[in-house]
Amino acid sequence: MKIWEDDNQKYIKAMMEKNTTEQNEKLTKRLEEIDFSVLEHIERKETVNERGVFAPLDAVEVSEIEARGAEFKELGLKAIREGKVGAVLLAGGQGTRLGLDRPKGTLNIGVAKELYLFEQLLRNLMDVTDEAGVYVPLYIMTSNINNADTTAFFEEHDYFGYPKDYVKFFVQEMVPACDYEGRIYMESQTEVAMSPNGNGGWFSSMVNAGLLSDIKERGIEWINVFAVDNCLQRIADPMFVGATIAYGCESGAKVVRKAAPDERVGVLCTEDGKPSIAEYYEMTEEMSTARKENGDLKYGFGVILNYLFSEKKLEQIADARMPIHVVEKKIPYMDVDGTFVKPEQPNGYKFETLVLDMVHMMDDCIPYEVVREREFAPIKNLHGVDSLDSARELMKGCGIEL
């Protein structure tokens, strides 16, 4: 059955009744292009896949990293100088929680002078490229919502001094959003309400954008994926790359020691013997408070969304289906009477794949501990925990002039 023949689909039906023949031709064409299979996941809301048996996984701690620092750094710099390392910036989300109607990376984090989040990230990358003496290819994932603004921003600021040839943008895929009864929302009379498909689709979106040949031509063997919101993010960090190579692992995840048992971060552990990330809402009280003999938390290391993946492995898993997470969100839509609604509260579901699920597809993953105060200043809100305020404090603590 075509989606518009389904009596349950009241928003689509209402538009079709009001539309002119031309409008309906446009709408039907659009509906035929969209994959609505995500709707099947609604009943299993956020319990997409049965989880296996979790067990703690010890991190490679800062003390060990420091002891082997010179070795790791040399290995990492060698890989970077040989052009084997690329980086992917996940920037498909909007800055809505910050009250920004623009890409999050365009946020001015400066105080006395202008300093944009994108700019700071590029500076962090240039710390490495200056030392290595070569540039690292940077791929930036945007979405339909912010691609034009993001690319224009980079042009306007002359790529913040990074060579343009080393920066490539690609757009992530979109999926339809619906209400709690699985009725697809409409954005206008002829457009379905679509939203970015989560940060887990980054590699397949790169492949779809034709960038695999670029990766191969450049000889990239390691890809460092990171989030836009952490202004202290170290990118293509030679020590991290070197450690992953030295341990003979096919992936690595930067982790920080959890600030408290109930800190809302995913923890790196094993699941049925393979590396995995248990999200904070999946952990039982017993799991999150369990302690080792020395008093440390058993599940004590949280991920900061900075991963290193072997490119070869990514290609092997490229066609594997990733779990779909069903997430409650506020979805603006056109109601059946034609009024446009901007909800204050969540009013339906979006469907997302998550980068952290990729970790479970790896045979191994090195949990690489970093010092929170030096590498983790995520900006999720304007004030309070993980905010612009707290990030500014942390940046000052690192000697960054604002």
Nearest CB to ligand UD1, comparing residues 27 and 391: 391
Nearest CB to ligand UD1, comparing residues 227 and 245: 227
Nearest CB to ligand UD1, comparing residues 198 and 242: 198
Nearest CB to ligand UD1, comparing residues 72 and 307: 307
- Minimum CB separation from ligand UD1 for residue 160, in Å? 18
CA dist., res. 93 & res. 91, Å (int):
6
* CA atoms within a 13 Å half-sphere pointing along the CA-CB vector of 137: 21
For binding to ligand UD1 (CB under 6 A), which residues are involved? Answer: 90-93, 104, 141, 172, 196, 198-199, 227-229, 265-266, 302-305, 354-356, 378, 380
DSSP line for 169-227? EEE--EEE-B-TTSPBPBSSSS-B-EEE--GGGHHHHHHHTT-HHHHHHHT--EEEEEE
- Minimum CB separation from ligand UD1 for residue 173, in Å? 9
Residue 124's nearest CA partner among 222, 41, 226 is 226
For 163, list phi and psi in degrees, rounded to 5.
-65, 130
CA dist., res. 36 & res. 42, Å (int):
12
Nearest CB to ligand UD1, comparing residues 211 and 356: 356
End-to-end Cα separation, the chain, in angstroms:
58
Nearest CB to ligand UD1, comparing residues 14 and 174: 174
Amino acid identity of residue 144, one-letter, is: N
205-217 as b/e: b if 16+ CB within 10 A: bbbebebbebbee
CA dist., res. 69 & res. 359, Å (int):
25
- Minimum CB separation from ligand UD1 for residue 400, in Å? 19
CA dist., res. 250 & res. 310, Å (int):
5
- Minimum CB separation from ligand UD1 for residue 356, in Å? 5
The residue with its CB nearest to ligand UD1 is 92
Question: How far is C-alpha 65 from the chain's CA centre?
Answer: 26
- Minimum CB separation from ligand UD1 for residue 93, in Å? 3
Nearest CB to ligand UD1, comparing residues 182 and 198: 198
- Minimum CB separation from ligand UD1 for residue 303, in Å? 5
In 10 A of CB 141, how many CB atoms? 26
- Minimum CB separation from ligand UD1 for residue 172, in Å? 6
